[in-house]
Chain A
Amino acid sequence: MSITTKSPILEVNHLKQYFSLKKESLFSPKQTVKAVDDISFKLYPGETLSIVGESGCGKSTTGRSILRLDEPTEGEVLFNGTSMTSLSKKELRNVRGDIQVIFQDPYASLNPRQTIRKMLQEAMSIQKVMPKEQMEARLLELMSLVGLRPEYLERYPHEFSGGQRQRIGIARALCVNPKVIICDEAVSALDVSIQAQIINLLKSMQRDLDLTFLFISHDLSVVRHISDRVIVMYLGTIVEIADKDSLFDSPSHPYTKALLSAIPSIDEQHKKDRIILKGDVPSPIDPPTGCRFHTRCPFATDYCKKEVPALRSLSETHQVACHYAESLLKEEIV
């Protein structure tokens, strides 16, 4: 798939999302959390783009800003070339139908007093996807699509297991015929055997329905399995974007390298040098100057402390934000 020749279905330009915190006392300075700080990327139709990073790096916030669940502080999001920020309420509602989201714990977002049938019907009629008469057939189709028995339509959310609830979450996202689905840790809470079922389901869904996925996850094994391209975030910024194979086979940012090496593996062959990072992720309230990773980076220099590294292209499909990406790559080859 030659991605670059297509036009993006979703484009994020210089997105910033700041949250101001309540002041601690009258005289203390106002504090802002820079949850997402100037990120840009493009999502192409039919692909799965993943966002990975540690807790608090801004993955979910990015997703929420795209959906405009939070109003972005700065920057714009283009859906099929039109800016979402300029849309009226009504147009926004239409676009919301095109972009759906699946959360980590679908239980929290399912109304406990509604049967599955009621919930799906409501979602469909809000978006006016089809006349009433066709709904029944569509409901049955959806259920079989996500691998649930048709009689489950009459059940309530608490009567399902975690994996089944996730299938319901997927059915709800699919029922309005979306083009893009944002999966926020959609399989993270599931056991491996169930997780595998859901991942396979998502993949087959994508093939059959021509869906585009923005897949947010902290689990790099899952990400390798499901994505075409991967974004690595650290403290609200993008440190590396690459197609899956270059990212996993030749990670270029020191943080990506550490992240990959930290994953415990059952594979004897791959148990080699582990890069153990020092310390904790700094607070996004007052992030480090220059390169945000310099407090934990084994290669940091004085220059890194002062200059913010720009996101540069190493190749057509590989971008990285590190001053020394090229030389670090070479060093490893030697």
Chain B
Amino acid sequence: MNKEVVLQVKNLKTHFTTSKGTAKAVDGVDFTLHKGETLGIVGESGCGKSITSLSLLRLIPTPPGKIVEGEILLNNKDIVKMKEEELRKVRGNQISMIFQEPMTSLNPIIPVGEQIAETIRLHQRLPRKPAWQKAVDLLEMVGLPSPEKRAKQEPFQLSGGMRQRVMIAMALACTPEVLIADEPTTALDVTIQAQILELMKDLQKQIGMSIIFITHDLGVVSEVCDQVAVMYAGQIVEHRNAKDLFKTPLHPYTQGLLSSLPNIHENQQELQTIEGSVPSPYDYPVGCRFADRCPHAREICRAEAPDLLETNNAETKVRCFMHTEKWEVIEEKEELVCP
């Protein structure tokens, strides 16, 4: 509980201005990441996971994107306000990233060893030879067979799993405090995914970094994460300890998500579904963004937007009126009005 805070994100808003209007891709995200913790960010495609992660390192393509509000505090320094120079010292050094497509995220014509070594030379001011040697050592650490040979090869000569190992080696080159992994195993086969997840867990133990793990796969989250933040329509709707979240989801969206998952361990007749579809980021409703699909929605849900609030348990945050005192009061009133 009194663990050290590494990264704190407050009311982050990243919007895109296009000819169609303003897409509020990330619209008020708050979370806190503690030392050594793995925070999972889950949600369906388009809910703003990737834009959140890119915002953390200010890698949003501008224009059309822009961080319009909020703070990103890394050890109490605001990344949003940093100068380019300062920011570059954070990137790849204190915070590093792994992306979804190991295929396209590596430069196709530069040997993978050099792509790792250049980061080391940059941030640790090592000369060429030792930097290269360190790159080879890192490749060995991430379990790439014959690392000396592989280091000299271009990415196309490596398989998808090997490329993702290279990406991990690159991200860990300067022993970052925070590793952001955006769908790092989504493009991989399950048996390879299992290898990579295992590797990430091991390395976290060795290095002791914090991880933000972004994925749409709830199974993966429950395998690797301590804390989970569920995103919906640009906001976090539930943020809690992973075990509790999967046992007793509180937000109606989380509940729907979990029950629409086919279970591999038993036979089910029909899958639960969440009817309807996600609202457009160009035009969110005034009230709760989930109201149109929520089986519990009431009048107040359409009139007012719920905040992400702590429940009776201080470690649990939910954005839903159902878990506020308002709900009970309203319930009584509504019963009075319409008997």
Q: A residues engaging B (CB < 8 A)?
A: 54-55, 161-163, 191-197, 199-200, 203, 218, 220-222, 224-225, 244-245, 248, 258-271, 274, 276-277, 279-281
Contacts and interface: CB of A to CB of B under 8 A. Distances in A.
Contacts of B126: none
Interface stretch (B9-17, B65-73, B116-124, B185-193): B185-193
B327 interface: no
A264 B260 contact: no
B197 A264 contact: yes
B138 to A, nearest CB: 20
A267 B263 contact: yes
Interface string B197-210: 11000000000000
Interface string B228-246: 0000000000000001001
B277 interface: yes
B59 interface: no
A200 B270 contact: yes
Given A193-B256, A264-B220, A280 B192 contact: yes
Nearest to A191: B44
Contacts of A281: 189
Given A264-B197, A280-B159, A192 B191 contact: no
Contacts of A195: 260
Contacts of B268: 225
Nearest to A279: B145
A164 to B, nearest CB: 8
Contact of A262 (B44, B159, B193, B257): B193
B194 interface: yes
Given A200-B273, A225-B271, A266-B219, 7 more contacts: A192-B261, A193-B257, A194-B44, A195-B260, A203-B270, A221-B261, A224-B263
B105 interface: no
A244 B273 CA distance: 23
B277 A161 contact: yes
A54 B189 contact: yes
Contacts of A200: 270-271, 273
- Shortest beta-carbon contacts, A-B, top 10: A264-B219, A196-B260, A225-B262, A262-B194, A191-B44, A196-B271, A54-B189, A193-B274, A266-B222, A221-B264
Given A193-B273, A266-B222, A224 B261 contact: no
A194 B276 CA distance: 9
Contacts of A266: 218-219, 221-222, 246, 258, 261
Interface in B90-124: none
Contacts of B257: 192-193
6 contacts: A55-B189, A203-B270, A264-B219, A264-B223, A266-B222, A267-B263
Nearest to A262: B194
B279 to A, nearest CB: 12
Contact of A220 (B161, B261, B264): B264
A191 B265 CA distance: 21
Contact of B262 (A197, A222, A268, A279): A222
B256 to A, nearest CB: 6
A165 to B, nearest CB: 12
Contacts of A268: 243, 246-247
A270 B260 contact: no
Contacts of B145: 279
Nearest to A277: B191
B45 A191 contact: yes
B222 A265 contact: yes
Interface residues of B, number: 44
A244 B261 CA distance: 18
Contacts of B270: 200, 203
Contacts of A264: 193-194, 197, 217, 219-220, 222-223
Query: Would you call the interface of chain A mostly helix, strand, loop, or mixed?
Result: helix
B216 interface: yes
A271 B260 CA distance: 20
A270 B198 CA distance: 17
B16 to A, nearest CB: 19
B258 A163 contact: no
B265 A267 contact: yes
Contacts of B246: 266, 268
B191 A262 contact: yes
Contact of A265 (B162, B264, B274, B275): B264
B19 interface: no
A266 B161 CA distance: 24
A54 B161 CA distance: 13
B195 interface: yes
B272 interface: yes
Contacts of B220: 264
Contacts of A225: 262-263, 267-268, 271
Nearest to A197: B273
Q: Which of B161, B247, B262, B275 has the most CB of A within 10 A?
A: B262
A200 B274 CA distance: 12
Contacts of B264: 220-221, 224, 248, 260, 263, 265
Contacts of A191: 44-45, 216
Given A193-B273, A196-B260, A270 B190 contact: no
A276 B195 contact: yes
Contacts of A163: 277
A257 B266 CA distance: 17
Contacts of B263: 221, 224-225, 267
Nearest to B199: A276
Nearest to A199: B271
A266 B194 CA distance: 15
Contacts of B258: 266
A260 B257 CA distance: 22
Nearest to A248: B264
B54 to A, nearest CB: 20
A55 B191 CA distance: 11
